[in-house]
Structure 1
Amino acid sequence: MGAVRTIKRGGSRFYLLTDQPDVRYPGVTSVINMLPKPFLQFWAAKLTAELAVDSLPFVEQMAARDRAGAVDYLKGAASRYTKIRADVGSRAHDLFERLIRGEHVGAVHPDLEPYRALFVDFLTAVNPELIRAEDVAWSDRHAYAGSFDALIRVWLDDDGKPDPTRKGVPAVLMADWKTSAATYPDVALQLTAYAMADRLIAPDGSSVPMPEIDGAAVLHITPDGWALKPVRVDEEVFSFFLALRRVFDWDRDVSKSALGKAIAASAKRLETGTQRRS
């Protein structure tokens, strides 16, 4: 079995196997991006407005020299913020993987230290057992794939809360680490898609059937604290993910052939002799 690699096409991520390069499955996140997010329009507008107000003298000076440059500076506010947060999130995820694998991590950048300390606190309070990390969940039945953060085993007490002594009931959870300002319901679509995949593929290309999953959880971790939240994973949630998978095909493929060329149109406007001579 070939190893998995990813490519970006038209803003979407696709997964393919090195021994089957013609088979390209969209990533779970790209499928979920088919959900409408009207709030992003207002969020981006707010960031742009705040930047304009907070840096008004600078923007005025820039506009006097280069109006187009000033416009680009303002309209790029949301994308710059998103990139900064994504960079922090990527570095934090790398740190989390090292820690949950038991690797010793020394001094880290001051921006990452709160994440390091709080993740260590999570490991102590919950005491999870790592089963897999950063492998690819691959669905042959529904043609999608995605890299998940971790598959863990935790022990739960009679109230359903983690028991760090591991004397409770064991449960295998599909887990996701979130460093965003908040967590959102679509994480259920994400984790359900991973849990309902057919197999797991390791970096070396080896493949095993998806183990039985008892549930899912998202670890929301910010510089201020962490919280482990249960996430719904079931057939109903999966049905909505599969609906978005169909919408992805419409958006990327079918829609391009939906509208044909005109077979009738209004007559062209008469070009007069005066117009031709001029």
Structure 2
Amino acid sequence: MGAVRTIQRGGSRFYLDPDRPEIKLPGVTSIISMLPKPFLMYWAAKLTAELAVDSLPFVAQMAERDRQGAVDYLKGASRRYTKIRADIGSKAHDLFERMIRGEFVGRVHPDLEPYRVLFADFLAKVNPELVRAEDCAWSDRYGYAGSFDAILRIWLDDERRPTPDRSGTPVLLMVDWKTSAATYPEVALQMAAYANADLIISPDGSRESMPDFDGAAVLHITPEGWALKPVRIDADVFDLFLVLRKVFVWDRETSKTVIGKALAASTAALVTGTQRRAG
């Protein structure tokens, strides 16, 4: 018995069953990537245009020496920005996990200090009980897997506000940390998938049934502040995730089988009289 491993295939992440390595399931985020996001094209174009305008002399000098290098520099603008944000997000997630487990973190990098202060404020004002963190949600029934951030128990008063003294009604929540500029609707698909998985697989490979949840929430935390927001994970949301699961199969498998070999085709390109005379 061992930990769940992941591999990358065709730009998608797959999770390998630790007991049955021949079984690999697509990751939740890879499935959700099937959702159309036309705004990304305009965002990437805007980022590239801004970089070109803001660094015009530098780009012009680069283009004189290496035109392709200048092209690559500009077209990589969105990729570099995404990587920087992803690196900060990963480090912040690691920080949150250590803090919610009660570890003393001490001094952190200046870029992470706002996240440390604000996450400590969240812990003080909500006082959640950590049930699980950074484990794998696994679904043999529907064929997917993914790593969730946390399962927390919090206590709410009659107005559905957290009671840090734990005097209210306990509720079990699937929780996700987000450090992006905003919270986006796709988080509901992500959390509905985790909450409706069959099993939780721990780092040591042990398995237990996924519990029944009272709901879900996203902790949106940026250097400016934090907010704990409820998230819908009902049947309608999960059904849409399952539609995307089918689209994933179409994109990765079925679409490659639907067009067969040509039944007939031309044997040579037509050469006109004009072309022959020119030769």
Q: Deviations over 1:198-240 (max 9, x none)?
A: 0100000000001111100000000000000000011111100
SS in 2 for 1:167: coil
1:28-67 pair list within 5 angstroms: 28-67=28-67
Aligned-residue Cα RMSD (Å) equals: 1.5
In structure 1, the residue matched to 2:264 is: 264
TM-score, structure 2 normalization: 0.96
SS in 1 for 2:193: helix
Q: Does 1:183 align with 2:190?
A: no
TM-score, structure 1 normalization: 0.96
In structure 1, how many angstroms separate the alpha carbons of the residues matched to 2:254 and 2:65?
Answer: 46
Per-residue deviation at 1:262?
A: 1.4
In structure 2, the residue matched to 1:123 is: 123
In structure 1, how many angstroms separate the alpha carbons of the residues matched to 2:271 and 2:48?
Answer: 47
Letter in 2 for 1:268: A
In structure 1, the residue matched to 2:250 is: 250
SS in 2 for 1:158: coil
SS in 2 for 1:30: helix
Per-residue deviation at 1:72?
A: 0.2
Q: How many residues align?
A: 276
In structure 1, the residue matched to 2:74 is: 74
- State, as a whole percentage, how many aligned pairs show the same letter: 72
In structure 1, how many angstroms separate the alpha carbons of the residues matched to 2:48 and 2:134?
Answer: 35
Checking the alignment, whether the CA contact within 8 Å between 1:2 and 1:17 is kept in structure 2 is no
Checking the alignment, whether the CA contact within 8 Å between 2:2 and 2:203 is kept in structure 1 is no
Checking the alignment, whether the CA contact within 8 Å between 2:151 and 2:175 is kept in structure 1 is yes
In structure 2, the residue matched to 1:240 is: 240
Listed as ranges, the gaps of 5+ residues in structure 1 are none
Per-residue deviation at 1:268?
A: 2.7
Per-residue deviation at 1:267?
A: 5.4
SS in 1 for 2:246: helix
SS in 2 for 1:125: helix
In structure 2, how many angstroms separate the alpha carbons of the residues matched to 1:147 and 1:235?
Answer: 21
In structure 2, how many angstroms separate the alpha carbons of the residues matched to 1:54 and 1:236?
Answer: 45
In structure 2, the residue matched to 1:24 is: 24
Letter in 2 for 1:68: Q
In structure 2, how many angstroms separate the alpha carbons of the residues matched to 1:171 and 1:238?
Answer: 20
Listed as ranges, the gaps of 5+ residues in structure 2 are none
In structure 2, the residue matched to 1:88 is: 88
In structure 2, the residue matched to 1:204 is: 204
Per-residue deviation at 1:161?
A: 1.1
Structure 1's 270 and 193: CA in aligned 2 closer, same or farther, altered over 3 A?
closer
